[in-house]
Amino acid sequence: MAPSVNTHSAATAASQAPGYGKSGFTTVEVQTDKVRVADDAIYSTYAYENAVVEKVDGKYKVKPTVQEYEFKLDTKVPKTGLLLVGLGGNNGSTLTAAVTANRHNISFNTKNGKIEPNYFGSVTQAATIKLGIDANGKDVYAPFNEIVPLLHPNDFVIGGWDISKLNLAGAMQRAQVLDYDLQRQLVKHLEQIVPLPSIYYPDFIAANQSERADNLIPGEDKWAHVEHIRKDIREFKEKNDLDKVIVLWTANTERYADIIEGVNDTADNLLKAVKESHSEVSPSTIFAIASILEGVPYINGSPQNTFVPGCIELAEKHNAFIGGDDFKSGQTKLKSVLAQYLVDAGIRPVSVASYNHLGNNDGYNLSAPKQFRSKEISKASVIDDMIESNQILYNDKYGKTVDHCIVIKYVPAVGDSKVAMDEYHSELMLGGHNTVSIHNVCEDSLLATPLIIDLVVVSEFLSRVTYKKKNSEEDYHQFHSVLSFLSYWLKAPLTRPGFDPVNGLNKQRAGLENLIRGLVGLAPHNDLKLEERTV
């Protein structure tokens, strides 16, 4: 029998209790000679198989390739702090409330009965991964967070910035997301949490947000603002005795920044522009620069172009992790599944019309044209790679584009319950047509908050993974600065310059799952089911 690899920790398993999870808890033991455990790390070998394709004279020449990698996963999960930009917004207050309710096992009553705290909607906390099959050929699944050691959201140390000085209890009440009985019990835990002053450049967000802006870092010197944010990060880390900090933007959608040669096109030009307080340097980019210079992962959860070319280059220079853009929660997540299904089925979508209205502050900010344009861009790109994947349906004869219409309206009465309506109009064989209409009502912040959890958990996990090419490299390297593994949770996935994004939801998840499987010695997913289909 092959050597046994056990990533299970009895010490952390013993600490489990209802309503409270623990970082680093694992239960999967893989028996393989591809893995060894030593010095608080899992070492694995992985054969990455792909194929290089060249089209010559109408024929495809396909050359299979194999590259062997050696991975190292540090198994010690660090004490991690989460700094949210927009801590007092709907998402920030809901996340803090959710972690507090789960950490303290706070149940509450609604008209439908008693509700226990949970993390439904989070992939890392409430989803499973297929491990293999049992003796009868039946699929066997394990919880996502029990395969490799992961940070648990109950262990987040949360802080952050906001342009509003309202404490988190008041922010939670203002957001009107959670049931009253839960809010009532959370007040004593949240009323002492007050956001740090934040950056406010009125030109980048809607004018209607000015009434909230009472908690600001003074002055107009943008480099001083970078230094202020860096100091906040260092002090938060020191005060809470943290091993690691992650910064995530969940504040208002900004307008797009203009890409200007000599201003934000290179890392050096961007830093020079900040020191000159150039008007096209946005607040979100200021936070990104500060995080990069501090060596702290930075994730952009809104649709604006925070990561201008100079910002990406700066992250590459400092080997700092970045990820974005824009949370993919409801309507767009469904679109990245349905559009993929239609194209893969040989059905030709010719138009996708998406409409939604919402009444929270996000909708209020998006009622301004420039901020809506940022959201429109991120939503529109979600089906691009699906169209490009099928040259039978999309070509010079039939056309290479889909009419994609996006409308967002602010309707205060619906509050945080976003109403989405989509129509997919497609061509069938011999002039036939198929129309799929979907009406979806979702509680916006209760969909977005689990995404924040997953983005933080997976970002921290990826920071503990290093690799080297077997037989050709001596030293381990970290992944590229742009964490495209996060794309499952993002509308407009940021990718390494020169590479195209993957938007299909199933493809995005498969990439991350196969990495996790490879780290513990399992092969990529295989659904041939030859046990059933052979004699």
For residue 35, being part of any structural domain is answered with: no
* pLDDT at site 414: 86
Task: Please indicate, yes or no, whether residues 439 and 452 belong to a single structural domain of this protein.
Answer: no
Mind listing the pLDDT tens digit of every residue in the chain (535 residues)?
A: 333 333 333 222 223 333 346 788 889 889 999 999 998 999 999 999 999 999 999 899 999 999 999 999 999 999 999 999 999 999 999 999 999 999 999 999 999 999 999 999 999 999 999 999 999 889 999 999 999 999 999 999 999 999 999 999 999 999 999 999 999 999 999 999 999 999 999 999 888 888 889 999 999 999 999 999 999 999 999 999 999 999 999 998 899 999 999 999 999 999 999 999 999 999 999 999 999 999 999 999 999 999 999 999 999 999 999 998 889 987 788 888 899 999 999 999 999 998 988 888 777 777 777 776 776 776 777 888 888 899 999 999 999 889 988 888 888 998 888 888 999 999 999 999 999 999 988 888 999 999 999 999 999 999 999 999 998 889 999 999 999 999 999 998 999 999 998 988 999 999 999 999 999 999 998 888 888 888 8
For residue 1, being part of any structural domain is answered with: no
For residue 140, being part of any structural domain is answered with: no
Mark whether 114 is an active-site residue: no
**CATH number reported for the structural domain that contains residue 271 in this entry:** 3.40.50.720
Task: Please indicate, yes or no, whether residues 388 and 318 belong to a single structural domain of this protein.
Answer: no
Task: Please indicate, yes or no, whether residues 352 and 451 belong to a single structural domain of this protein.
Answer: no
Cα separation, 162 vs 89, in Å, equals 8
For residue 281, being part of any structural domain is answered with: yes
| Catalytic entry in 375, 385, 422, 454 | 375
For residue 132, being part of any structural domain is answered with: no
**CATH number reported for the structural domain that contains residue 423 in this entry:** 3.30.360.10
* pLDDT at site 407: 87
| Catalytic entry in 34, 165, 328, 491 | 491
* pLDDT at site 359: 80
Task: Please indicate, yes or no, whether residues 454 and 432 belong to a single structural domain of this protein.
Answer: no
Task: Please indicate, yes or no, whether residues 245 and 351 belong to a single structural domain of this protein.
Answer: no
For residue 75, being part of any structural domain is answered with: no
Mark whether 418 is an active-site residue: yes
* pLDDT at site 418: 85
| Catalytic entry in 162, 326, 422, 444 | 326
| Catalytic entry in 237, 244, 335, 418 | 418
Task: Please indicate, yes or no, whether residues 388 and 323 belong to a single structural domain of this protein.
Answer: no
Mark whether 40 is an active-site residue: no
The whole-model pTM stands at 0.91
Task: Please indicate, yes or no, whether residues 249 and 312 belong to a single structural domain of this protein.
Answer: yes
Task: Please indicate, yes or no, whether residues 412 and 461 belong to a single structural domain of this protein.
Answer: no
For residue 89, being part of any structural domain is answered with: yes
Domain total in the chain:
2
Task: Please indicate, yes or no, whether residues 250 and 323 belong to a single structural domain of this protein.
Answer: yes
* pLDDT at site 375: 66
Task: Please indicate, yes or no, whether residues 300 and 378 belong to a single structural domain of this protein.
Answer: no
Which residues span the domain enclosing 430?
331-443
* pLDDT at site 21: 64
* pLDDT at site 373: 78
Closest Cα partner for 284 from 319, 252, 310? 252
* pLDDT at site 6: 34
Contacts 24+ apart (CB under 8 A), 202-206: 203/255, 203/279, 204/254, 204/255, 204/257, 204/282, 204/283, 204/304, 205/252, 205/253, 205/254, 205/255, 205/365, 205/368, 205/371, 206/252, 206/364, 206/365, 206/366, 206/367, 206/368, 206/371
For residue 482, being part of any structural domain is answered with: yes
Mark whether 527 is an active-site residue: no
* pLDDT at site 23: 85
Task: Please indicate, yes or no, whether residues 429 and 456 belong to a single structural domain of this protein.
Answer: no
* pLDDT at site 20: 47
Task: Please indicate, yes or no, whether residues 416 and 322 belong to a single structural domain of this protein.
Answer: no
